[in-house]
Structure 1
């Protein structure tokens, strides 16, 4: 019977600055998650970035390094795609936090043993072990990012996540890439300098796992939550893309935009390290130089992301997407025209590429976020992610083959052409919409 006394009220959802958080999420949980996003992207980027150093230590011929780089990156992405659904289902049963911690632990193990690889075969095998941990960590971070914020703050929250990702990449390029040079300058051999650098990352991954355990939300009570079949979701996402050309264009932007960052991370460092060694630099100094150049590109892109977002809000959506991918095409084709990887022309080219890369990533996310129908958002976003992963797998493999067979500029020319295709599709869509509006205005006028 009601005794007239009000029962205890649930506490109001917390806020972290401008972000309204979801029920049960504290400010500490959200801040920890943002730090985890920043740190994990740095760990992931580091491994691809220092591969050229490891190739040098293993004595892998220069004309085979491009293909091997592409293979290692594509294998990691394939692992993420294959394990994503299973990792998600596992986390539905035991919680996000335990799965994330397991993933970080496997990554730490991968960092510990990867520089000990005695051959290419071992390198590939150990990369797959690391990729299992990376898949668990990335999927759990992505899931938690979606769950920790209230709907009314989702846009600003995703912007903050994007900034954390960008900062993580910049820190990797400007700080972590210099670790081998720091150890080599202290008197260690090239081999030991590389191993010590990886072991620093091992400790960092373990420390991050402890921080995530301490700061993220505790696992929910055990139980099975509904998770739709990934194949069924993807087929529905494809069907929506066939019915809505703007969604289909969104998938095409993902195919190109996610590959932009992967290609520049993988092959820019390889190009500069090879050129540095050929000019007489030590492999440690060449890796540091690659980090500096890559850091310039990503810093420019990070700063420009805000400007591109404002521009997209002021332009017709298709015109904004076309402009973004025109900039991306210009940036990557500019890299393809560079003759001297250590010269000043490279700095100018990576600045343009950084602007273009950021423009493509921001416009792709903006387009699909606008066009994904609320009732099928999961299917559309899942297909969008799959399209991006497919681009990374196919274009890094192709880029690696071109790097060895044609030259170090070739992967960037490839990406320039891919971005040009997206530009052409977006421009055609924009022109079609302009014509349709003009015809509708004429009809209304009569």
Structure 2
């Protein structure tokens, strides 16, 4: 594995990066477990959970949009290590305060603070991965870190998601059980900050990247979108990032609400929702090597069309689910996980191929910006229709958007095939 690294990177730096990938996504997805629990148990929500969940996610994404550029500049000035340590500490503070938030306004403030921490964390993991990996082994490094991210997300849900139920079985009241769950995650945040401080390479990069102001980035990214396949990559990012966040945000909430409606207490209901998330994530994790292999072997636009088709079918199939806790519907949730992974992988593969060397940063930035807009748009609407229509509505809505981009991909494959 040492051949995967640049000459000045030690094995200890690489191991810390692997740990960072594993723990960072686990800490980020925890909010999808803890938040439904707090909405039902601490705030006593009944009937508007979807709208509030969508609005909280929008607040976090807007925070990311406003801060990610500043973190990029700071990373070049003071180095990556201080920022990733900062991110872990801020996440720990936010998770400590979250179960103490007694009002919706307070919960919004905490989610904004958490958004600052998660933005610092994820942007630095991506940057450090680029810093450490040799060009010829970057794909292997991305695959390794990506696999550990998936495992981290699953383990966080399996282990931590069931803690309130265990605490309650030992005689702890429901609100205190939720606080204990959050504060265990706080410990993980602070321990991780220490690991990052000790393990990551100190100093600033030898060569600093040119970083455009956000408005200039958007302007140049839109100029690149005059190329049909780059425009397709942007629209694919809009739906594929939405797919990912809709799944993480609403699937635990859906299972939790369904469990509560069937007479479960909050801890049992959250555990039921967590099981749904684990099933979908495991399905995507297990199929990702096959999807990656196939994507590398075929035309990237064709690969994207296949990924979008799987995603559209998976998300649209949620229309058929009348009870997410019923084991009879597990095959549809497995299909959902495969579809989400296929959509995300194929979109990244296309933009990686199409981004020209002279404008790679601009195109990748535009790809990320389109994805953030997709998250804001889909989670806000998804939250509203979760309450006003049906709990599966956010998935059906994103499935509809994915069908539209699928047909866009078919058109581009015909009029602007990859040469």
Q: Same fold (TM over 0.5)?
A: yes
1:406 matched to 2:389: yes
> 1:142: Cα distance to partner?
1.6
Give the match's secondary structure for 1:402. helix
Q: Which residue of the partner structure matches residue 363 of structure 2? A: 380
Tell whether the 8 Å contact from 2:313 to 2:399 is kept in structure 1 after alignment: yes
1:148 matched to 2:132: yes
Q: Which residue of the partner structure matches residue 300 of structure 1? A: 283
Q: How large is the Cα RMSD of the aligned pairs?
A: 1.8
Instruction: Tell me how far apart the structure 2 counterparts of residues 225 and 388 of structure 1 sit (CA, whole Å).
Output: 22
1:423 matched to 2:374: no
Tell whether the 8 Å contact from 1:71 to 1:397 is kept in structure 2 after alignment: yes
Q: 2:180 aligns with which of 179, 196, 200?
A: 196
1:115 matched to 2:94: no
| Cα 1:221/1:370, change in 2 over 3 Å | closer
Tell whether the 8 Å contact from 2:42 to 2:175 is kept in structure 1 after alignment: no
Q: Which residue of the partner structure matches residue 4 of structure 1? A: none
| Cα 1:92/1:433, change in 2 over 3 Å | closer
Q: Structure 2: which 5+ residue stretches go unaligned?
A: none
> 1:221: Cα distance to partner?
8.3
Which one is further off, 198-207 or 213-222?
Answer: 213-222
Q: 2:31 aligns with which of 35, 44, 47?
A: 47
Give the match's secondary structure for 1:99. helix
Cα distance per residue 1:200-255 (max 9 Å; x no partner): 0000000000000111001238997643323223321211111x110110111111
Instruction: Tell me how far apart the structure 2 counterparts of residues 391 and 223 of structure 1 sit (CA, whole Å).
Output: 33
1:205 matched to 2:189: yes
Q: Which residue of the partner structure matches residue 215 of structure 1? A: 199
TM-score relative to the length of structure 1: 0.90
1:67 matched to 2:57: no
> 1:342: Cα distance to partner?
1.4
Which one is further off, 388-397 or 47-56?
Answer: 47-56
Tell whether the 8 Å contact from 1:273 to 1:286 is kept in structure 2 after alignment: yes
Q: Which residue of the partner structure matches residue 9 of structure 2? A: 25
TM-score relative to the length of structure 2: 0.96
Tell whether the 8 Å contact from 1:94 to 1:222 is kept in structure 2 after alignment: no
> What is the total number of aligned residue pairs between the two structures?
419
Tell whether the 8 Å contact from 1:49 to 1:269 is kept in structure 2 after alignment: yes
Give the match's secondary structure for 2:162. helix
Q: Structure 1: which 5+ residue stretches go unaligned?
A: 1-14, 438-446
The 5 A counterparts of 1:37-436 are 37-220=21-204, 226-242=210-226, 244-433=227-416
Instruction: Tell me how far apart the structure 2 counterparts of residues 224 and 328 of structure 1 sit (CA, whole Å).
Output: 38
Structure 1 runs, 4 residues or longer, greater than 4 Å off:
221-226
Give the match's secondary structure for 2:323. coil
Instruction: Tell me how far apart the structure 2 counterparts of residues 225 and 341 of structure 1 sit (CA, whole Å).
Output: 47
Tell whether the 8 Å contact from 2:280 to 2:336 is kept in structure 1 after alignment: yes
Give the match's secondary structure for 1:115. helix
Instruction: Tell me how far apart the structure 1 counterparts of residues 209 and 26 of structure 2 sit (CA, whole Å).
Output: 32
Tell whether the 8 Å contact from 2:30 to 2:156 is kept in structure 1 after alignment: yes
| Cα 1:101/1:325, change in 2 over 3 Å | same
Which one is further off, 387-396 or 53-62?
Answer: 53-62
Which one is further off, 311-320 or 373-382?
Answer: 311-320
Tell whether the 8 Å contact from 1:271 to 1:341 is kept in structure 2 after alignment: yes
Give the match's secondary structure for 2:47. helix
| Cα 1:60/1:394, change in 2 over 3 Å | farther
Tell whether the 8 Å contact from 2:89 to 2:189 is kept in structure 1 after alignment: yes
Instruction: Tell me how far apart the structure 2 counterparts of residues 433 and 113 of structure 1 sit (CA, whole Å).
Output: 51
Tell whether the 8 Å contact from 1:49 to 1:265 is kept in structure 2 after alignment: no
> 1:344: Cα distance to partner?
2.1
Instruction: Tell me how far apart the structure 1 counterparts of residues 347 and 195 of structure 2 sit (CA, whole Å).
Output: 32
Q: Which residue of the partner structure matches residue 6 of structure 1? A: none
Give the match's secondary structure for 1:324. helix
Tell whether the 8 Å contact from 2:228 to 2:416 is kept in structure 1 after alignment: no
Instruction: Tell me how far apart the structure 2 counterparts of residues 223 and 152 of structure 1 sit (CA, whole Å).
Output: 20
Q: Which residue of the partner structure matches residue 7 of structure 1? A: none
Give the match's secondary structure for 1:280. coil
The 5 A counterparts of 1:1-12 are none
> 1:59: Cα distance to partner?
3.7
- Structure (1 or 2) with the larger CA radius of gyration: 1
Cα distance per residue 1:248-304 (max 9 Å; x no partner): 101111111111111011111111111111111121111111111211110110111
